[in-house]
Amino acid sequence: MPPLRGAKRRRKAAAEKKTAAMAAAAAAGADGAPGNWWDGFCMRMAGTLSSIEDAQRFEYVFKMPRRTFNYVCSLVKDEMMVKSSSYTFLDGTVLSLEDRVAIALRRLNSGGSLVTVGSSIGVNHSTVSLITWRFIEAMEERGSHHLHWPNSGEMEKIKSKFEKIHSLPNCCGVVDTTHITMCLSSAEPNCKVWLDHEKNYSMILQAVVDLDMRFTDIVTGWPGSMKESSILHSSGLFKLCEKDERLNGSKLKLSDGSEIGEYMIGDAGYPLLPWLLTPYPEKDLTESKTEFNRRHSAARAVAPRTLAKFKDTWKFLQGEMWRPDKHKLPRIIHVCCLLHNIVIDLQDSAMEEAHTSSDHDMKYRQQVCQLADENSVRVRDKLSQHLTSR
């Protein structure tokens, strides 16, 4: 069937109208009119957003509320706008601060290639690359205070929450690891060190989380071939805890006069330590040990749930496009962790967590570590007995 009469002319007029509207909206955004900026950005991504209700579009695109987006923009403004006229859309319009942050966030949370992200927004793929890296550097410089080991007051709140919800007194967090998969040729030098036990090339992220699903400590950059226990022993967290410079707060006093210090919990892949309690092996357990395992398992579930949400939000980390760059990939993982915490820090307390999946390492088998000393066993036994005697 031939085209309808006048259709070509109408399409051309509509395209010209859309281009003019986007240019006007971008200019308004640069002058500080956030509503107009968002209208223009929506028009650039009309193909992606057309089937989504307007009220949900912003959080769908950026994985954060508008208020949080504005805060991120305020954090990185000085660094992102150093060369204010260097980056433009394909039509020549200069990118505003919001445009630049939006492009970086889309690169990190969409999982799309540079070309895909660039074409969906109307910028060159090299612009996407340069802006994303500038954003990473800016967030490292300005946002690092959103990921830190809790001070004494913050830790008391964390411990209180673990005791209130899971009846685990003096618990300070949950430690877990996840694999960030990468693309690597078997012909490349030293490739085997990055090959994990499931025959994938990966980099490991170790994280400590609280019950609000916040990261309180992270370690990344280690190759996938390392076990959970080895990552832990190589971390600054381990060294600080062993020197009694962390988990050194108030102690739990037991009825027999003894005390149990602050501790974290982890799965069976970790060694049993006085400050890191793992579950009892599932064999011939007493009532107190069974109860300990039950509470331990319920509290520990927050870690895989957090890591699953983290990797589902920042899909860039699922792209399998990275070589094991010892500098760039760990820094990008770190910034994604910062953004994860910022979203939580700025959200309303009434917001409910809708994400329920805990499958952050699909098809990865549970590792088991047998390391334990007599003192560690005694601490776990005393705590399990305390839990059932109250």
User: Do both 154 and 116 map to the same domain?
Assistant: no
Residue 260, Cβ neighbours under 10 Å: how many?
20
User: Do both 47 and 105 map to the same domain?
Assistant: yes
| Residue (of 67, 35, 60) closest to 348 by Cα position | 67
User: Do both 58 and 195 map to the same domain?
Assistant: no
List the domain range (segments joined by +) for residue 164: 148-323+340-389
Question: Which of 110, 142, 174 delimits the end of a domain?
Answer: 142
* Inside any domain, residue 40: yes
Reply yes or no on whether the pLDDT at 165 is more than 80: yes
Output the pLDDT for position 357: 62
Reply yes or no on whether the pLDDT at 321 is more than 50: yes
User: Do both 138 and 89 map to the same domain?
Assistant: yes
Output the pLDDT for position 38: 82
Residue 198: pLDDT band (50, 70, 90) is confident
* Inside any domain, residue 209: yes
* Inside any domain, residue 5: no
User: Do both 305 and 209 map to the same domain?
Assistant: yes
User: Do both 362 and 292 map to the same domain?
Assistant: yes
Span 130-146, mean pLDDT?
96
Which residue bears the tokens 């910022």? 342
* Inside any domain, residue 2: no
In the chain, the percentage of residues whose pLDDT exceeds 90 is: 61
Residue 373: pLDDT band (50, 70, 90) is confident
Average model confidence (pLDDT) across the chain: 84
User: Do both 242 and 118 map to the same domain?
Assistant: no
pLDDT in tens, 302-320: 999 999 999 999 999 886 6
User: Which residue did the predictor score with more confidence, 318 or 56?
Assistant: 318
User: Which residue did the predictor score with more confidence, 202 or 48?
Assistant: 202
Record the tokens describing residue 154, joined without a space.
Answer: 């913050």
Question: Which of 89, 114, 142 delimits the end of a domain?
Answer: 142
Output the pLDDT for position 185: 73
User: Do both 295 and 152 map to the same domain?
Assistant: yes
* Inside any domain, residue 7: no
Output the pLDDT for position 184: 78
* Inside any domain, residue 116: yes
* Inside any domain, residue 163: yes
Question: Which of 120, 142, 164 delimits the end of a domain?
Answer: 142
pLDDT in tens, 35-52: 578 877 877 775 555 545
User: Do both 247 and 375 map to the same domain?
Assistant: yes
Residue 26: pLDDT band (50, 70, 90) is very low
Span 263-270, mean pLDDT?
95
Q: Of 211-215, 310-314, 368-372, which range is least confident? A: 368-372
Q: What's the CA gap between 360 and 176, in Å, rounded?
A: 11
* Inside any domain, residue 3: no
Q: Is 303 exposed, middle or buried (0-12, 13-18, 19+ CB in 10 A)?
A: buried
Q: Per the structure, how many domains does the chain have?
A: 2
Residues near 150 by beta carbon (within 8 Å), at least 6 away in sequence: 158, 172, 210, 216
Question: Residue 204: what residue type?
Answer: I
Output the pLDDT for position 352: 45
Maximal CA-CA distance, the chain: 92
Residues near 293 by beta carbon (within 8 Å), at least 6 away in sequence: 279, 280, 282, 285
User: Do both 75 and 160 map to the same domain?
Assistant: no
Q: Are 160 and 168 in contact, with CB atoms under 8 Å apart? A: no
User: Do both 105 and 219 map to the same domain?
Assistant: no
User: Which residue did the predictor score with more confidence, 305 or 55?
Assistant: 305
User: Do both 226 and 355 map to the same domain?
Assistant: yes
